[in-house]
Structure 1
Amino acid sequence: MIADQLGMHKATLYHYIDSKESVLYQCLVMSFGDLDDVITKTEDRSVPVLQRLRLFCRSLAMAQNSDFGRCLVLVGSRPLDQEPSGEIRKFQRRLDATVRALVTEGIADGSIKPCDPALVSAMLFGALNWVPRWYSEQGKLGIEDIVNAFIDMLTLGIATSKR
């Protein structure tokens, strides 16, 4: 389909790319590349932890629901397990570690109720990973509305009154 869109033969296209997986991997890089900066911002302890968690969630959701981000979420990472030395899995573990660290920090400073950071992370990614499957631009809610509602439900559910 890509070759057809570009008006070239498949063989010509494969001269420039290694495989379909390479295209998918580049989609991931284009969509999620900004998250490295966001992860760095989540380490700024001068900003309240729940605010940093909201920033992370919003950035992740926007990346997942971009044209390229949807590719990874809808196809899944399995085709990319062998792409450059497991970079996808490393990236996913880094995202998970970021959420767990924020929740752990919030529990320690009293702004988050005692809970299992791994479960909070699983819930967060489980919810956000499904949005590209059912979201429609023609729906009554925009992606920002959905993301804000999800983040509110998450942060209000785990926050203490201290926030």
Structure 2
Amino acid sequence: MSTTQNKRPIGRPKANGRSKGINRKDLLETAARLFNDRGFHGTSIQDLATRLGVTKAALYHHVPNKQDLLYQLHMISLDAADKATAQAIEEGRTGIERLRLLVYHYLSAICASPTACLILLEDDALREDHAKEVIDRRRKLEYGLRELIQSGVDDGSIIPCDTKAATFVVVGAMNWVTKWYQPGGSWNAYQIADGISAILARSLASNPVSSLPTDISQPQLTPFALPSDPTTPDS
């Protein structure tokens, strides 16, 4: 991702010059949005402070530098991916079910909070030891997803395919969602998770469903149970 991007307007500190308090959730979500939008090198501490409505001095009371914020975000995103994988393995019966559940749980997480989305790892953005840790964990996740897809090939629920290429397609599709998803829009997080997971699962299923919903905001008939949308009351 290029770091020379058109910068969006950012907020201003309070007119009276007083800084409001910062909580960790706001700080991390703001950093995640700016890093994903502008890139790490294209985002300054001043940008973060301005968006949060605080002074740089106040911000430094909460975080020592940008690298520390980026490292925290990488750890949160990797934890979310690990959790989605574990849930999928526990809940799914076949490879294709586990694949769809992994996509569902991960998309639910990243749509609920931008801090859970995997951020592009830019050159010289992290300390060497932190960069190695992030890369090692990402490789482990990639290999885990490839093994999950291969398990589906082995049990007959997924068509024979290049599992490495399939993994890249699935990961790319999931992480691109945060580029266009807007909270409060036409679809909520669970509708997106259900709809996108259905599309990706059908692309690899050995026995794909004959059709997909033409409107993912409507309840879907799935070949296996997915967690219900907690925002929708039971009928």
TM-score (norm 1): 0.77
Mapping for residues 14-163 of structure 1, pairs under 5 Å: 14=60, 17-44=63-90, 47-65=93-111, 66-70=113-117, 72-73=118-119, 76-78=120-122, 79-80=125-126, 82=128, 84-161=130-207
Moved more, 48-57 or 101-110: 48-57
Letter paired with 2:116 = G
- Alpha carbons 2:95, 2:151 under 8 Å: kept: yes
Deviation at 1:116, TM superposition (A): 0.9
Moved more, 92-101 or 103-112: 92-101
The structure whose RCO (Cα within 8 Å, separation 6+) is larger is: 1
Deviations 1:49-75 (Å, cap 9, x if unpaired)? 2222122112222333313135x53xx
Task: Judging by fraction of residues, say which structure has more helix.
Answer: 1
Moved more, 123-132 or 41-50: 41-50
- Higher Rg: 2
2: CA distance between counterparts of 1:47 and 1:88?
A: 30
Deviations 1:9-60 (Å, cap 9, x if unpaired)? 53x6546644201112212323442433433344559722222212211222
Q: Percent identity?
A: 26
Deviations 1:120-149 (Å, cap 9, x if unpaired)? 111111111111111112431222222222
2: CA distance between counterparts of 1:43 and 1:145?
A: 22
Paired positions, count: 159
1: CA distance between counterparts of 2:204 and 2:132?
A: 32
TM-score (norm 2): 0.56
- The two structures, once aligned, show a CA RMSD in angstroms of 3.0
Moved more, 123-132 or 80-89: 80-89
Residue ranges of structure 2 left out of the alignment (5+ in a row): 1-45, 209-222, 224-235
2: CA distance between counterparts of 1:46 and 1:124?
A: 17
